[in-house]
Structure 1
Amino acid sequence: MIENNEMRDVFDAIADPTRRQLIHLLALGEEQPLHELTSQFQMGRTAVSKHLTVLKEAGLVHDRKVGRETRYTLNPAPLREVQDWVAFYSKFWSANMLRLNQLLEEDE
């Protein structure tokens, strides 16, 4: 667990495919209980819960208790950091695509 109230790095949190799938599932709908999320994976409740803890430490997931059940919702705000990082490098992709397009037009 993260100490001193430090948040986990969002890139670290989304590095795992299971966590990316959890983000996807939470993005599709409303608040979801742990048992519903667990049913989407071939792993136990404890393993899914650990992945959700990592997402929570990165600020990507909020949880709340409803009776004996824990329900989770997505907080997409930290994903802005990922979007900004990718956007910075998109200029390289755009330039390469432009060059490729020019080469293809020259060949015609």
Structure 2
Amino acid sequence: MTQSPAEEALIEVVLAALADPTRRRILDGLSTAGGGTATMLAQDLPVTRQAVVKHLAVLHQAGLVVARKIGREVRYSVAPAPLATTARWMTDLASEWGRPLQNVKRLAESGE
């Protein structure tokens, strides 16, 4: 389970961005709607539009969203690649933890 320094940095930034529940809700909203604006997202959240813009900036810095200016609006959409990299790391980690736990289970069941 070895990542390159770039992958390690990406995973760290993604996990930090996803640590905030509002940012997770923003990603969910963008994913469900297929994209949207800060104004649209703020309608479904208990925070101001300005707060949503700040959260979107963090998500953008983490590479989790892509911003496109269309006229006077900025539309955001989910960028899945950083999530996929982080999910692979988590899957690998769970797999590594699973091996010792399987050994403990096997020993416990065998009565050794």
Please point out which of 46, 50, 63 is paired with 2:54.
50
Q: Tell me, which stretches of 5 or more residues in structure 2 are unaligned? A: 1-9
In the alignment, which of 10, 15, 21 is matched to residue 14 of structure 2? Answer: 10
1:87 aligns with 2:58: no
Structure 1 runs, 4 residues or longer, greater than 6 Å off:
none
Shift of residue 94, structure 1, vs aligned partner: 6.7
**Bigger helix fraction:** 2
Corresponding residue pairs, total = 100
1:76 corresponds in structure 2 to: 80
Instruction: Name the % identity.
Output: 35
Q: What's 2:32 paired with?
A: 28
Distance 2:30 2:85 in 1: 19
The answer for the alignment partner of 1:40 in structure 2 is: 44
In 1, the alpha carbon distance for the partners of 2:106 and 2:41 equals 44
Mapped partners of 1:37, 1:94: distance in 2: 42
Q: Give the match's secondary structure for 2:81.
A: coil
Q: Give the superposed CA RMSD.
A: 2.5
- More deviation, 81-90/54-63: 81-90
* TM-score, structure 1 as length reference: 0.75
Q: CA deviation at 1:53?
A: 0.2
TM-score by length of 2: 0.73
Q: What is the Cα deviation at residue 31 of structure 1?
A: 2.3
Provide the rounded CA distance (Å) in 1 between the counterparts of 2:103 and 2:73. Answer: 52
